[in-house]
Each structure stands twice: as C-alpha cells, then as structure tokens.
Chains A and B, each alone.
Chain A
C-alpha cells in the first residue's frame, strides 16, 4: 500500500501492423513522458494511433500488430516492452489498470460482477478475498453506487454509467497506480459524462495515481487533464500543459482541432471543420510530414522531411512552419 504514483517514459515507440502491403506503422517514433501523479490526455481522430499507444503501455498490442521499436519505461516495472508471459500478466491489473470504453462490453455477460471480481483476485493470488470485496464495495460506494447490489448484478442489469464505474473499480481494486482510460466517456450522456470525469479526477487525487486518458473529445481533456498530447497519423504532433496548448495551439492540426469545436455563445458558423480526411494506415505518407495534405502552412520541405519535435518552452511541437517561425 506504500506504492506511489509511477512515472512513465515512452521513448521512440513504433508499433506496426502487418497488412497485405507489408508492415505499416500505426504509431511512429512517439516519445512522451507521464510525470508521476499527472493526468495526461491524448487527443486524436479515429485511426490516429491513440488506442494503439494506450495498449502499448500494457504491452498488449493485438496481432497482427507488434511493437517494433522503442521502450515504455514504468517506475517499479521497468521496460514493459521487454515483459512477457506471467510477468506481463501479473503487471496488468496489479500495476496498470485499464478502463474500457463504456459502450464496450468489458464484462463476461454470464457472470455477476462479484464473481468476476473474485476471478480477478484469484488470478492475482489475492489471499484476502473478503478484503478485496470490501475494497470493491468501498470504491463503488465512493463513486455513488450501491456496492453490494452492483456486485450481485450481471452486466446487462447495469447502465452505461454504472458499467463505466465498475470498469474503473476493476482497474483500481488491485491497487494499481497507473491507470489508462480508453475513451472513458464516449457513448455516455452529458450528465453521466460529467459525473465520470469528476470521479476520474477525484479518484486520481485521492489515490495518488498517474493517469492517461485517451479521447477524441478535446472537451474531456480540457476538463480533466494536466497535460495534453495531440496525435495525428501515428505521430505525436504537439504536447504540453493543457491550458497552454488550448490557449495558444501551435501545430496547425491542433489549431484546426480547436477551431472545429462549436461554441456555446457566439456564431455557430465560427466552428470550422478541418478540410480533408485523416490518413489511414495505408495512406499515411512514408516520407515527410503526415499532416501536410490538410495543412494551410505547407512548405516544400514538408514533402521530404519528417518534422522533429522541437521544445518550445514547456511544450514540444513537430512542425516545420513553427520551427521556421522560431528561427526567424
């Protein structure tokens, strides 16, 4: 119980998927640090590689995908890319909690939540199963649910918001201090969404966690995350403190993303969709900047040279145009 929020250092991570056209990268050369005790949000469109990145933290990229380069160094665990077999299994759940999207059925439909909790405990050699159940009830109660009732329920008897809280409980009940939430509020109504985000924030503070939130909804990140990382086409294009990035986005993609959000006040037409479509695994350019096809600041150099992430104050941006401005 003396565990502390671990820091995570992702370095040069590349994940490739085997396709008929050869191995194509879904995540390419991503370096990202999750400081201990922080909440980091990763934003990106579908296919940007954010979920693949999240799975890499558990070394759980599903075939035909594989981590082809880089490392994911977690305090107290070491490089998870090097873990396999029983070591890896025991790290999952105990050190790293993973919370699925609410709309995904992350529970066995034939067993009650309580029985699955016991399965989880037995899988991790928990001797005090009563204590585990008590802890689960506490957590559920903390999130505003009737723990005893929920443990006695099957998945189909729970609403989306309840399932999501059960998912969070299962991720935390073994005392994991690194938590990955994949689209935690997608497919939930606005009020439930707000509730879940509040719970994420509070549980994070109370238990001293390091949290990674994956989402396509920049509003979610704005609400919970201390740090924001933006992914596009498998690349990390911009990252930094959430407030800074949202207040003055530098990468043209981040700007486009923020400009596309409709405001509650003012002209609805001010929201502008980003022209073009995000690349798929097969259409991501092999050379040069991945965003150039949709970029207003495109230059000749973008066609040939992949922009490197440059440090600008407390954030990094990977864009030639921004780099030029820097030198000018």
Chain B
C-alpha cells in the first residue's frame, strides 16, 4: 500500500498547485470583465442626485463592505484568504461569505446529481451487459435503441417533458423547488419525505439523460471483452459460467470508472437547466446569477469549486485504478 500512499502524496501536491494556478487565472479573468457593480451603484446614486461621498457611504451600507486597493493587493488578499477557505464576500448576497453561499447551493446540486448519476450508472451497466450478451436478439436491439435515443435527447428536453407530464398533466409529483417549506428542516419524517418526493423528477431527469451513455459504453466494453482470448480460454478450461461472468464484468467495467469519476467531477457545474426547470437553488443557477450580477467573488468561488471538484475527481479515479487494476499498480513495483 506504500505505492498508493506515495501516489496520493504526489497527486495531492500537484492538485494543490493546480488549484492555486486556477484560482490565479480565474481571479484575473473575472477582474478583467468590464463593469463594476459597486461603481455602478455609486454612479447610479450620484445620478439620482446624491453627493459622491454619501453615495459611497450608502453603497457601503448596502453591500456591507467596500472593495478597495490595487489589483495586486486584492490578489494577495484573495490568495491569503483562500488558504483559510475564505473566498471573500458576495455582493449580491448582502456581503455574506462566498464559502457559505456556495456550500448552501452545493447541497441542492450534489444530492440530486449524485443520486441521478449513481442510479443511471448502476442501471446502465446492468442493462449494458444484457445488451451485449443479447446483442443478436430482440432484447439487445431494444436496449441499444433505447440507449441511443435517450443519449440523443438533451437533458433539458427530458426535464421539461417529465415536468410537463408528471407535474402538470398528471400532477402527482412536485416541480416547485427542493422541499416543501411547510416542514421544519431537520431529521423528521415530514421534511425528509418531502425532500425525497421533490427529488424524484430531477433525479429521474439526470438518470434518464445519463443512462443512454452508460448503456452504450458498457455494451461496447463488454463486447470487446467477450472477444478477448482469456474468455474463450476460461471456457475451454471448463470454468463455471458464474466465474466467467465475473471475469467479463470486472474487465468491462474498468474503463467506465474513468467516465464515472469525470462525470462526478463535472456534476457541480453542469446542472443549470435542470435547476431552472425544477427550481433548485443549486450551483448552476448561482453561477448564472453571479455572472449577470457581476459578483466577482462569487463567480471566482464558483469557478474554483468546479475546477477543484474536477481535479479531486481525477485524483480519486487514478487512485481507484491503482487499487483495482494490477497493471496500473505495478508500474512502479517492477522498478522497486
């Protein structure tokens, strides 16, 4: 296990450097976008007839703080803050710390997307195996066609469709936010039940949209493995079907873990449409909002969070491979 530990240390060091680089780049890119909400507000107040001093005062009261100093100064402040997980304050959220705003939004993104991804992954790979084994029969065709169709339909179309059918035409499921506000947040049956009920449609949308990709990827992976010599060899040695099935499954699923890890990394950023359709106050909506409102700190924070999650997903995927694939593991073992 020391090899894995060594790998982990290397990955973490590289990951941290990458995050710092991304923080720097996003800091300067965000700051070079034309327009300044604070200046705009001061300007607006002055135009309304307020004295410049009073206008600045009023703006300071409105936002709760006044950004100042040179760009370089702001940058060092930002990076120092970053070391304490302080990403600054959000001007659109009355000066609330960006970290808190992001975390609050993240939970409404992570939970449904994670549930949807895991669900579609599990269903997709099982169906993919069937589609591969029965690829010359009707069932295989049916599964492959369903995969292609669903893979081709954009996420937002599926979302609108589900919302129209199950929330409007036959109103059996809610599409009006993440939870019923009647219930007190906490570990009580009413609140949790309401959470689950509200999550059904968005989770189903994620799952359906991703399922097609999984079934197609798993099918082609299984077909490749079925053609491998070691499967025929196992048959000719008289191995039990159940053991051969395990050989096939483990070898076929291997390449899919990369896709899974990367899609989990992307899950924080890619949910704008679904959050809009089902009124989930998640990260996607927050990012859009921060861009339209020129909320630099929030924008930078959201970018940083998305990047960091992708970097972390990559590290996890790589470490995971060292655990499950002996060929990756022994890369360093041989020389040792």
Contact = CB atoms under 8 A, between A and B. Distances in A.
User: Which one of A92, A119, A156 has the highest number of Cβ atoms from chain B below 10 Å of its Cβ?
Assistant: A119
Interface residues of A, number: 30
Interface in A228-261: none
User: Which one of A92, A100, A109 has the highest number of Cβ atoms from chain B below 10 Å of its Cβ?
Assistant: A109
A171 B325 CA distance: 26
B238 A106 contact: no
A171 B243 CA distance: 18
Contacts of B233: 98, 100, 104, 106-107
Main secondary structure of the interface of B (DSSP, over half): helix
B230 A109 contact: yes
A110 B240 contact: no
Pairs A-B, 7 closest by C-beta atoms: A93-B238, A92-B238, A106-B233, A104-B229, A98-B236, A123-B240, A93-B237
Nearest to A125: B240
Contact of B251 (A92, A109, A154): A109
Interface string B225-256: 00011101111111110010001001100100
Interface string B260-302: 0000000000000000000000000000000000000000000
Contacts of A156: 326-327, 330
B238 A94 contact: yes
B238 A105 contact: no
Contact of B228 (A60, A105, A112): A105
21 contacts: A58-B236, A60-B235, A60-B236, A90-B238, A91-B238, A92-B237, A93-B236, A93-B238, A98-B233, A98-B237, A104-B229, A106-B230, A107-B230, A108-B230, A108-B234, A109-B230, A109-B327, A110-B247, A110-B250, A110-B325, A154-B327
User: Which one of A91, A94, A106, A107 has the highest number of Cβ atoms from chain B below 10 Å of its Cβ?
Assistant: A106
B248 to A, nearest CB: 10
Given A105-B230, A106-B230, A122-B243, A92 B235 contact: yes
B228 A119 contact: no
Given A108-B247, A154-B330, A156-B330, A123 B230 contact: no
Contact of B229 (A58, A105, A112, A157): A105
Nearest to B324: A110
A171 B236 CA distance: 9
Interface string A103-143: 01111111110000001101110000000000000000000
Contacts of B234: 108
A122 B240 contact: yes
